Structure 1
Amino acid sequence: MYTDNMKVLNRLANQVYAANSVGAVASFPEVITVAVSSVCNYRCLMCAEWRKPQREELSPEIIEKLEDVLPFVSTLYVTGGEPLLYPHLDRLLATASRHGCSLQLVTNGALLDAKRAVTLLGHGLEKLKFSLDAVRPATYKKIRGGDLNKVLDNLRHAVALRNASGLPGPYVEVGFVAMRSNIDELPKFVFMARKLGVDVIYVSYMAAHHADAFDESLFFDQARSDKLMIMAARVAREIGVTLNLPPLFQGNEAAEGLESFRSARELCHEPWRSMFLWPDGSVSMCCGGGGGCGSLADGSFTAMWNHPARVQARTKVNTDNPPKACASCFTNKQQPNRLETHFTDAALRQRAEELGKELPVA
């Protein structure tokens, strides 16, 4: 009955804790990101999940543990592998919806047929995100290995279904993981998204987790990357679509007079606001690579939420000496001039550092 009040009070508590860098807290996360399964129908060039030898999925028992805190949680964000392959997806969404959580889901879209789209809308999704990354079918095939035209048809149908329903949501977002193979397509990608009825475009730098993705990094093509992101920002402003871009390599976003760029200098509230739950029940600080902090598979929620690693991160994340994992954030506070933003593996960073000595300054 008082679910909304509980969520508001929890959010206010986290704001106070974050403003004072409090370590151990009596609040709960506002946003829980759940990677429901490592199973996927795609083999994307930049993804590390499908390369793992063991296939895992979130157990119903973990969903039950999660349910205890959902009355305090504002948003449940469901990600993959491919969430539409997860056999307990409807149960998870229904559970979170019952507790008044805003539901958000990311998909590659290949399996989002008409029947599944109706089911998802029935759960009251607030956001539906498609991972696209390309305008040209050949580029899409190279990066994601799938059929772009099929996915675009599914996206069009989802938008049409939403519009016909008269419901306010879900708002539709498309993701663009920027790399050398697709950066030239970014301005056209903005046009395409607007034509499709997309509400938001979210762009991030590709992080190379393995050697196969190494040469795709925009760390090796900084001037071209900046030029095309600026061009895309201008296109978005002209045609009226929301574009969310990472900071530029050259760091002159303000000088460009464009509002599309995120800042790496903002304070981070993620250790108080969010948690990332993996299919095996283990928990990470956030989706930005903040490091492990316990498990729901063999521990209590309180022990995980005030895990020593998380407590330490809360006290240091907004200082001049943040935790190592936070200093190399590759989502909310991407810092393009840091190797850690582009290469998660130490051996790849060393290799990139050697090559980078020969790169022109952006």
Structure 2
Amino acid sequence: GRYDLQISLHASDPLIHRLLTRTNYYEQIIGYIRTINALKKEKNAANLYINLIFIITSLNIENLPSFVDFAGKLGVNSVTCHYLTIFKPEHIKLSCFFMKETTNRMFDEAQRRAQKHNIQFFLPPRFGTGEAVKAAGSCRDPWDHLFVDALGNALPCCYAGEPIGNLHNSDFLSIWNNEEYKRLRHSFITGKPHSRCKDCFKSSPVNIDDIRSHITFRSNNKKEIFEILGMKDNS
């Protein structure tokens, strides 16, 4: 089978990486990637798939094309990009929701470079382009993933608000097959997004042009951010 190794990097510039992560591990991470790739070649481990994760923010969006060039030089298999989710008020200024044209332009250039380097490149929907409509209903998370936080809370995806169970109280299969999970899956099959998912761009990608899809669905955090933005929470 194939083994996937996902590595969060977020920049090809050490300074941007330090600003985003508040760490000084950039060179160490790059060293590890090169070592892994060397071992991969030495062992002829073609089934090891290296994927770099790039969280898109206002600080690093203009670095994305260079990041793809860097990924090509490192010899990784793919780059996967995700928009930043606003969890705290201080994250608002980091969201690319407020620099849509620049974001779309950087996506286009980065995609061209990915083709040049022959690496797979995965992007979220662009802003205001209509491509989102074509991808509607594409979320597979309720069938493919279960996320667990430090308190044992089980969440159907990394964007989810309320837990769907807790591993301290139930075993994995009991949560995976519980009634709430079944309702969630059924909502995608019928094309009627569950209330948990109504603002998410993964259930309805046209939501990418709604600021709500860029804000955490966790109720306490969301309420504070909505108040700062002068918005009402209709959930």
Q: Same fold (TM over 0.5)?
A: yes
Structure 1 residue aligned with 2:48, among 150, 170, 181? 170
Structure 1 residue aligned with 2:165, among 273, 294, 312? 294
Provide the secondary structure at the position in 2 that maps to 1:304: helix
Q: Which runs of 5+ in 1 are unaligned?
A: 1-101, 103-124, 255-261, 355-362
Q: How does 1:1-362 map to 2 (within 5 A)?
A: 126-147=3-24, 148-253=26-131, 264-289=135-160, 291-319=162-190, 321-329=192-200, 335-344=207-216, 345-352=222-229
Q: Offset of 1:132 from its aligned partner?
A: 0.7
Larger radius of gyration: 1
Between stretches 322-331 and 234-243, larger displacement belongs to: 322-331
Provide the secondary structure at the position in 2 that maps to 1:208: coil
Question: So what's the TM-score if we normalise by structure 1?
Answer: 0.56
Q: Which runs of 5+ in 2 are unaligned?
A: 217-221
Cα displacement string for residues 87-137 of structure 1 (whole angstroms, at most 9, x for unaligned residues): xxxxxxxxxxxxxxx6xxxxxxxxxxxxxxxxxxxxxx8011111111211
Q: Offset of 1:185 from its aligned partner?
A: 0.4
Aligned length: 224
Q: Partners in 2 of 1:282 and 1:177 — Cα distance?
A: 24
Provide the secondary structure at the position in 2 that maps to 1:336: helix
Q: Partners in 1 of 2:139 and 2:69 — Cα distance?
A: 32
* Distance change (3 Å), C-alpha of 1:323 and 1:243: same
Q: Offset of 1:313 from its aligned partner?
A: 1.2
Code of the aligned partner of 1:173? N
Q: Partners in 1 of 2:83 and 2:199 — Cα distance?
A: 13
Cα displacement string for residues 130-176 of structure 1 (whole angstroms, at most 9, x for unaligned residues): 11111211111100122322221121111111111122232111011
Provide the secondary structure at the position in 1 that maps to 2:208: coil
CA contact (8 A) 1:329 1:341 kept: yes
CA contact (8 A) 1:204 1:331 kept: no
Q: Partners in 2 of 1:140 and 1:212 — Cα distance?
A: 18
Q: Percent identity?
A: 25
